[in-house]
């Protein structure tokens, strides 16, 4: 299952895993777009299906798991990608806006790991990849403080669940991309600042979302059992550690 799979990075990941031979559930609140991508991958629905999912609430993950189990059983791979990307001034961001971003970005990871991770652990195998962000490592530059805070929380939750599930065959890793060549980048960054943003990246260009999808495929492989609890950076040299 890939959350936030109706477009953007999630769609790249879903296509990559499907090409690798996996049956893929494309979960998204934008069900019409998710359905279109699923139909593109599998016209008869035998290897790809769309599922409406609001990742802000635990009960929705429980319902999603039940629906998937009816069709294909417990997933062996979960990619927690769904997120709300917004900019806001740190000193004036309102409580409602802050809560909405945190509920989407943190609840999705925590309850995705909790609900699906538990089911995977019962089967003795699972691979979870959480999409964090450079903003959660360096405090954010172009994104809002609430977004950066949420992505920092994802890094901690990844460690918590990695430790909890490691002995039961389930790995949990995070990937922290920097700016990727996706529509959300140009939607978030004012047009007059795009060139300066790209110019500030040491490698001089935006990241390739297809490469991040490749990283997901690598971390979800059967022989990836020794990689868990880690944050995998892909940021063009913006954050070196």
Convert the pLDDT of each residue in 6-15 to its tens digit. Answer: 999 999 999 9
Which CATH number covers residue 30?
3.40.50.720
Q: Is the pTM value of this prediction over 0.85?
A: yes
For residue 80, what are the contacts with CB-CB under 8 A and spacing of at least 6? 3, 55, 108, 109, 112, 113, 128, 129, 130, 131
What does the pLDDT average to over 48-68?
Answer: 97
Tell me, yes or no, whether 165 lies in a domain.
yes
For 62, phi then psi, to 5°, come to -65, -40
- CA 217 distance to own-chain centroid: 13
Higher local confidence (pLDDT), 143 or 206? 206
Mark whether 239 is an active-site residue. Answer: no
Q: Residue 241 falls within a domain, yes or no?
A: no
Catalytic position from the list 147, 155, 209, 233? 147
Q: What is the pLDDT of residues 179-214, one digit of tens each?
A: 999 988 887 778 888 898 899 999 999 999 999 999
Burial class (CB in 10 A: 0-12, 13-18, 19+), 196: exposed
Range of the domain at 33: 2-234
Residue 240 placed within a domain: no
Percentage of the chain beyond pLDDT 90 is: 80
Cα-based distances in Å from 90 to 50, 68, 133, 145, 173: 36, 39, 18, 5, 29
């Amino acid at each position: 299952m890939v959350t936030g799979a109706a477009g953007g990075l999630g769609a790249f990941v879903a296509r990559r895993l499907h090409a690798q031979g996996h049956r893929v559930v494309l979960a998204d609140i934008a069900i019409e777009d998710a359905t279109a991508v699923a139909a593109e991958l599998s016209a008869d629905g035998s290897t790809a299906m769309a599922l409406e999912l609001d990742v802000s609430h635990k009960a929705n993950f429980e319902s999603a798991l039940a629906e998937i189990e009816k069709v294909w059983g417990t997933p062996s791979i979960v990619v927690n990608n769904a997120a709300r990307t917004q900019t806001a001034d740190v000193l004036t961001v309102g409580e409602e806006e802050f809560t909405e971003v945190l509920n989407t970005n943190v609840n999705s990871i925590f309850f995705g790991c909790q609900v699906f991770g538990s089911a995977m652990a019962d089967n003795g195998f699972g691979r979870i990849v959480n999409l964090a962000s450079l903003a959660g490592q360096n405090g954010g530059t172009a994104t809002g403080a609430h977004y950066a805070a949420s992505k920092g929380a994802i890094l901690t939750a990844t460690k918590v669940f990695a430790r909890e599930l490691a002995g039961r065959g389930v790995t949990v890793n995070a990937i922290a991309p920097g700016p990727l060549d996706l529509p959300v980048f140009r939607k978030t960054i004012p047009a007059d600042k795009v060139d300066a943003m790209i110019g500030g990246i040491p490698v001089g260009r935006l990241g390739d979302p297809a490469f991040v999808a490749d990283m997901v495929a690598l971390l979800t492989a059967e022989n990836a059992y020794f990689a868990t609890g880690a944050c995998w950076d892909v940021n063009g040299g913006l954050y070196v550690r």
